[in-house]
């Protein structure tokens, strides 16, 4: 007698399989005989491992308009607005906003999030709040917290001291923002320092790196070198990397093999990158998404990140990683069927690899977390931004949704429309 049986779903690789769950583990995959206390009929529907977001800012989420709207839409005004808000936001307020977002995430099958937590202010209320959120959602969302010196490790007077304090309090990952330091030299020095801290503590490192339209912002080169020096490999990621959009091709031809050699992963955030970058351009106007396909061609792991939802930098968002992948697919021009399927993996398997999630997947022995989608395959899921019919986290069904078929009143036409195409 299993606790839960997901019957007849189509896996991302096209196989049709049952998934049997006991406790918080998958105990059988394939054709499963036997009864279960609860059965989900997934016949004809896509069953996927949960969605994963490797780049988010949970301390600022759902604060749009506070203390006012970002009128210019620029990165720098957003940072300035957040700098004001973090001084007046209470722990209780940040916890409430973050928990609301986690409710959204759970309903969308987003069950693992890496959130950058601003460690600039001496009061560290941001850290206190996010550690409380992490504890409260641990039963259904895996939350990694990054010690992120938003105003610069060296540029802020107590930036380095507060980052160390935050790590000592229990944050999981070392963060940084070298392009926001006072000089290029300071930015490079901060990377050397941060990678050394990560290596000494046995932690992962995830750097906001070269989030700029300036093609001379080349901190990723130093980051790759330091990752290689300290042997951080797959424990390291560079987020945004938007300056690469504007770099000359010769330099990039040197840079990409260095990133690949280091084992450094890349996390572009298409919704935010294309909204914030290029604000100083007239026409042609750049859309600052990094070179996704070129990096993947070099064997570099690239995952899509959400970054922001209704905060000082971005006014929209719904915690839907399919929205993120859908936008990334368009801007990166990843329209071949294999590329579109890869975009789905970039919000599931590839992001799980970047975060180092253990027990992720649909194989026997994996953590029993999955999503049933109203789609027949990953590409259709992207096209439709498919409804999550059921979300299972650690063996428990935590969200359900009815199919949202439209009803038509047209002579001679079907009574309902689902927008899914039957393949023969």
| Active-site annotation, residues | 211
Cis upstream peptide for 321 (omega within 30°): no
- Of 205, 198, 207, the closest CA to residue 176 belongs to 207
Q: Please state the three-class secondary structure of the chain as a single string.
A: CEEEEEEEEECCCCCEEEEEEECCEEEEEECCCCCEEEEEECCCCEEECCEEEEEECCCCCCCCCCCCCCCCCCHHHHHHHHHHHHHHCCHHHHHHHHHHHHHHHHHCCEEEEEEEEECCCCCCHHHHHHHHHHHHHCCCCEEEEEEECCCCCCCCCCHHHHHHHHHHHCCCEEEECHHHCCCHHHHHHHHHHHHHHHHHHCCEEEEEECCCCCCCCCHHHHHHHHHHHHCCHHHEEEEECHHHHCCCHHHHHHHHHHHHHHCCEEECCHHHHHHHCCCCCCCCCCCCCCCHHHHHHCCCCECCCCECCCECCECCCCCCHHHHHHHHHHHCCCCCHHHHHHHHHCCCHHHHHHHCCCCCCCCCCCECCEEEECCCCHHHHHHHCCCEEEEEECCEEEEECCCCCEECCCCCCCCEECCCCCCC
Exposed/middle/buried for 298, CB within 10 Å: 0-12, 13-18, 19+?
middle
- Looking at the DSSP bridge assignments, the partners of residue 118 are 148
CA atoms of 154 and 265, how far apart (whole Å): 25
- Of 139, 73, 115, the closest CA to residue 319 belongs to 115
């Amino acid at each position: 007698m299993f606790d839960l049986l997901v019957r007849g779903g189509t896996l991302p690789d096209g196989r049709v399989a049952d998934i049997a769950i006991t406790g918080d583990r998958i105990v059988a995959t394939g054709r499963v005989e036997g009864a279960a206390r609860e059965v989900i009929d997934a016949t004809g529907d896509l069953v996927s491992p949960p969605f994963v977001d490797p780049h988010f800012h949970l301390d600022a989420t759902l604060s749009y308009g506070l203390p006012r709207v970002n009128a210019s839409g620029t990165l720098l005004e957003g940072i300035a607005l957040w700098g004001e808000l973090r001084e007046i936001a209470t722990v209780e307020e940040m916890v409430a906003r973050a928990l609301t977002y986690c409710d959204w995430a759970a309903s969308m099958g987003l069950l693992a999030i890496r959130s950058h937590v601003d460690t600039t202010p001496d009061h560290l209320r941001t850290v206190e709040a996010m550690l409380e959120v992490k504890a409260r959602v641990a039963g259904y969302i895996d939350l990694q917290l990054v010690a992120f010196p938003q105003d610069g490790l060296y540029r802020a007077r107590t930036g380095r001291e507060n980052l160390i304090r935050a790590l000592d309090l229990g944050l999981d990952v070392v963060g940084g923002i070298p392009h926001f330091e006072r000089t290029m030299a300071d930015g490079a020095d901060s990377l050397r320092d941060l990678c050394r801290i990560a290596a000494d503590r046995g932690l992962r490192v995830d750097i906001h790196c070269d989030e700029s339209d300036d093609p001379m912002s080349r901190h990723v080169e130093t980051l790759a070198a330091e990752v290689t020096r300290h042997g951080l490999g797959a424990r390291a990621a560079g987020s945004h990397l938007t300056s690469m959009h504007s770099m000359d091709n010769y330099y990039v031809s040197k840079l990409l093999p260095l990133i690949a050699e280091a084992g450094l992963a890349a996390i572009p955030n298409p919704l935010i990158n294309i909204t914030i970058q290029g604000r100083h351009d007239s026409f042609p106007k750049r859309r600052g998404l990094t070179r996704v396909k070129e990096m993947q061609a070099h064997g570099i792991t690239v995952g899509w990140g959400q970054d922001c939802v209704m905060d000082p930098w971005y006014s929209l968002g719904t915690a839907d990683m399919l929205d993120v992948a859908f936008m990334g697919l368009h801007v990166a021009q990843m329209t071949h069927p294999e590329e579109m399927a890869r975009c789905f993996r970039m919000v599931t398997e590839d992001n799980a690899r970047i975060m180092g999630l253990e027990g992720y997947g649909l194989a026997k022995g994996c953590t029993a977390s999955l999503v049933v989608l109203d789609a027949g395959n990953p590409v259709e899921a992207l096209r439709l931004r498919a409804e999550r019919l059921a979300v299972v986290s650690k063996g428990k069904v935590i969200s359900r949704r009815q199919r949202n078929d439209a009803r038509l009143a047209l002579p001679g036409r079907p009574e309902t429309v689902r927008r899914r195409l039957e393949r023969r």
